[in-house]
Structure 1
Amino acid sequence: MHDGQLAVPFDVVRELVDAQFPEWRSLPVRRIASQGTVNAIFRIGDRLTARFPLEPREVDAARDWLEREAEAARELLGRTRFPTPEPVAIGEPGDGYPLPWSVQTWLPGVVATDSDPGESVAFAHDLAEFVRGVRAIDTRGRTFSGQGRGGELPAHDEWVETCLRRSETLLDVPPLRRMWEVMRELPRGGAPDLMNHGDLIPGNVLVSDGRLAGVLDVGGLGPADPALDLVSAWHLLEREPRQAFRQQLGCDDLEWERGRAWAFQQAMGLVWYYQQTNPTMSRMGRRTLARITAGWPPGPPASTGTT
């Protein structure tokens, strides 16, 4: 999926686990089929998950990133009623794998890519409760780091233009370009940064019986545009549940449309970048764009701000 992507053979994982964590030598290790794009995932016994980064980087930078992920996971742990992974350990590079890697607790449930909750209003209420709980975490004076999504929309003009250009044989690009021209102008309206999960896509959400069972990949937790986690409304929900999600959060029109814009920015990259290497992610991008464009252009501002 990525230039220079690292190989993570099973026998290397087994050897690293046994050598660095001898207390787990008796536990079975098995690879987990995943549509994720950042890590290769292995289960260690029934309670643990090992995550091996796929993209090459400097060892110290990789370790710093894993430590920040663990800190974010600890900050989120127990702050909502929905389970999130607990950091357990950071492994070291070894023969056959050049970077540090992490271990965290395993969460039961089925990812939303395999058990679609899009028509469930109950799931939408759960999702809104999770977003509200994350927003309630104290930023402790922190603001957006400047990396990735969650700052100012125009900062992503170059990336969106790249995506539009790369998508000319895949999508009807002219209306999408016009859409971004409107979206990029949406102001923050003085909204302060709030805490966000940062990547509420189907592959990071666990479902059980049509309800939210847990949330994965929490290492990006941090302060950002309050509208950032609203991407989940378009990544995960159909029209009626999406409205229930909005009503529970009490989003005004400006915040809601910025959420749509962040979802657009993300989805545009998914369609072309993963077309050949991760078709599930590419299809997710197409579905998100279909939901976004179905409600475009937005109607006049509603008097209640919740329709």
Structure 2
Amino acid sequence: MGKMHADEAEIDGALVLRLVADQFPQWAGLPVEEIPSSGTVNAMYRLGDSLTVRLPRVKGGVEDIEKEFAWLPRLAPLLPVRISTPVGLGRPAEEYPWPWSVQEWIEGSVAVAGEVEEPVGLAEDLASFVRAFRRIELPDGPPAYRGGPLELQDAGTRAAIRLLEGWIDTETALAAWGSALAAAPPSASTWVHGDLMPSNLLLVEGRLTAVIDFATAGLGDPACDLIPAWNLLPASARPAYRAALDADDAAWTRGRGRALSMALIQLPYYRHTNKGIAANAQHVIDEVLADFRA
């Protein structure tokens, strides 16, 4: 995979070895291996057997590193599955300009849409995680990255639909997006993860074992975490997920709209540079439009 962003930093395994040796001598000499990932903001490297190094690719990801370092230890005891645990905060260096982090390695396979072994069981696992997240009452929570009113995404979503003319059914996409905009807003904000993409969900024997990447987490529309209904779960498991989260019609419609908006924006941006994200975006669009037509 080549560079995804015009302002992306130069990152490779040799750089990671040098940064670790200089700032964390207790881990110097451990083998470094790039982790294949469809992540768009951070580069990931495995360090030895038990650690992961996470480096922002772009300046926009810098605040996420410090945010996770502050919040993940507070969130972890409140959630039913493992989450990323930071163990070191790296400093900017002469050859790399931003903070970076070292986290505990978590075993598991990345979830893949269309390859879910236990769809209803996984839906229940995801719902358990989301319910626990919504119950969190930690003070001074940050705003969720995608948790504000859907109207804030309207211009970007419509621009993406124009770019996809001839690629997707843009008429149905506009109708589905319009239905989400017309849905009643949430009565209250809750803690949401905000980025439950398949690549952020780790599975063991088809069941959820861990959730990673909390850069977008914070207080926002609870419908943000309904997105796995379209980006991962098959249609047969959606009713179980919806029922477990007690999503009313308005929330379900907003969640579907949020899934669609993300995918519409991702597909034209990443279709030549990140095949994993582009493939999932196309999957989401297909699933949402079929669901809307039905």
TM-score band, normalised by shorter chain: over 0.9
TM-score by length of 2: 0.93
Match of 2:184 in 1: 187
Corresponding letter in the other structure for 1:174: E
Indicate the SS of the match to 2:215: helix
TM-superposed deviation, 1:286: 1.0
1:150 equivalent in alignment to 2:159: no
Match of 1:30 among 33, 36, 46: 33
- Name stretches of at least 5 consecutive residues in structure 2 with no aligned partner: none
- Name stretches of at least 5 consecutive residues in structure 1 with no aligned partner: 299-307
1:129 equivalent in alignment to 2:96: no
Match of 1:301 in 2: none
Indicate the SS of the match to 1:183: helix
Corresponding letter in the other structure for 1:196: V
TM-superposed deviation, 1:297: 4.7
1:103-114 pair list within 5 angstroms: 103-113=102-112
TM-superposed deviation, 1:264: 1.0
1:80 equivalent in alignment to 2:56: no
Indicate the SS of the match to 2:191: strand
1:202 equivalent in alignment to 2:201: no
Instruction: Report how many aligned residue pairs link the two structures.
Output: 291
The Cα offsets for residues 137-169 of structure 1, whole Å up to 9 and x where unpaired, read as 115365x73x64111111111111121122114
RMSD over aligned CA atoms reads 1.9
The separation in 2 between residues aligned to 1:179 and 1:81, in whole angstroms, is 33
Match of 2:48 in 1: 45
The separation in 2 between residues aligned to 1:75 and 1:257, in whole angstroms, is 31
Match of 2:164 in 1: 167
The separation in 2 between residues aligned to 1:285 and 1:115, in whole angstroms, is 13
The Cα offsets for residues 197-237 of structure 1, whole Å up to 9 and x where unpaired, read as 11001010011111111111023221100111001111110
1:273-292 pair list within 5 angstroms: 273-292=269-288
The separation in 1 between residues aligned to 2:200 and 2:283, in whole angstroms, is 16
Dislocated runs of 4+, deviation >3 Å: none
The Cα offsets for residues 104-153 of structure 1, whole Å up to 9 and x where unpaired, read as 111100111388327621111111111111111115365x73x6411111
The separation in 1 between residues aligned to 2:245 and 2:117, in whole angstroms, is 18
The separation in 2 between residues aligned to 1:20 and 1:237, in whole angstroms, is 42
The separation in 2 between residues aligned to 1:182 and 1:130, in whole angstroms, is 27
Match of 1:67 in 2: 66
Corresponding letter in the other structure for 1:101: W
Identity %: 35
The separation in 2 between residues aligned to 1:39 and 1:116, in whole angstroms, is 25
